[in-house]
Amino acid sequence: MSPSPHIAAAPMMDCTDRHCRYLYRLMSRHIVLYSEMITAQAILHGDLEKLLGYNTGENPLILQVGGSDPEKMAKAVKLAEPFGYDGYNINVGCPSPRVSSGRFGACLMYEPTTVAACVTAMRGATDKPVTVKTRLGVDDQDSDEHLYAFINTVAAAGCDTFILHARKAWLKGLNPKQNRTIPPLQYERVHRLKQAFPNLHIIINGGLATLPAIAEQLQYCDGVMIGRALYDRPFLAAELEQAFWQTPLPDRHDVARQYCDYVANMQQQGCSLPLMLKHAHGLFAGLPGAKAWRTLLSEDARRLPAGAWLESVENFLCT
């Protein structure tokens, strides 16, 4: 295996918030983390600390921005710069109707010159990398010809890293969940893209859930991004760290203790307990006691006082 592969945790709406990323960092120092998508409009008009703040030690961390107005995208980057992100990513892959109605996400594959203009404007606002996450195509515009034309146009604006979700997107007829499973995965198209653009960094995403599958993709692409599998089984972060960086595997129970202590502290600061705990539901996935752990994080966390709940967590972890 490569001694220094590019392995990333995919940006996922309502999932990869600062609490989820804290959990990942308890298990991996090297995986590149991404924020949830935050719209440029929200950054321009919202609470910056709430939207952009994160925990010390999360880096390397990329901010994913949604939008199609180059001026607003550049202003959003300027506002984010003091927070210390390691780069910025443009969402050109989300097929949600709500996202499309705002003229960002996968619908922008129809507008490569708009994406290129956003890249140019954002690069003018930062010296950090500006990258693009996209699909193989949208609707009936999904040939290699269309894809390569899109990549050519955006790369000419100075984007040298593309993250390819190895499926097309249907903007009409499929909901976001269906768009993650129904359009078939086409890894070979991403491999051909890398061959056609050897000077670009091509990162593959979609359906990759096991160490062998991830290692295989690194033979063809410059990196791998993992989404649902990592979220559903967060201890995969530790397994990736061990496999690719030879870091000793942490004790899963210690990870659970550290995260629950963190959650208890953040709850005192006003953070939502259920929203923080949902990220750890899969920490014991596939192991005896997994169901009891999920119950502890959902039903018991709601009905027990904080001290009693932490005691229940410790009792579970000691059994």
Which letter does DSSP use for residue 32 in this model?
Answer: B
Select from 312, 319, 287 the least CA-distant residue to 298: 312
Cis peptide before 176 (omega within 30 of 0): no
Select from 125, 32, 143 the least CA-distant residue to 80: 125
Helices (H) and strands (E) in the chain, counts: 17, 9
Tokens matching residue 167: 């499926």
Tokens matching residue 9: 């945790």
Q: How far apart are CA 54 and CA 36, in angstroms?
A: 12
Q: What are phi and psi of 235, to 5 degrees?
A: -65, -10
Q: How far apart are CA 259 and CA 64, in angstroms?
A: 25
Say if CB 118 and CB 68 are below 8 A apart.
yes
Q: Where are the alpha helices (DSSP H) in 103-143?
A: 112-123
> How far is residue 43 from each of residues 52, 101, 120, 313, measured CA to CA in Å?
8, 18, 19, 37
Count how many Cα atoms sit within 13 Å of the Cα of residue 26 in the half-sphere of its side chain.
23
Catalytic-labelled residue, pool 15, 20, 94, 271:
94
Count how many Cα atoms sit within 13 Å of the Cα of residue 56 in the half-sphere of its side chain.
0
Residue 107 known to be catalytic? no
Where does residue 180 rank: exposed (0-12), middle (13-18), buried (19+ CB within 10 A)?
Answer: middle
Residues involved in catalysis: 94
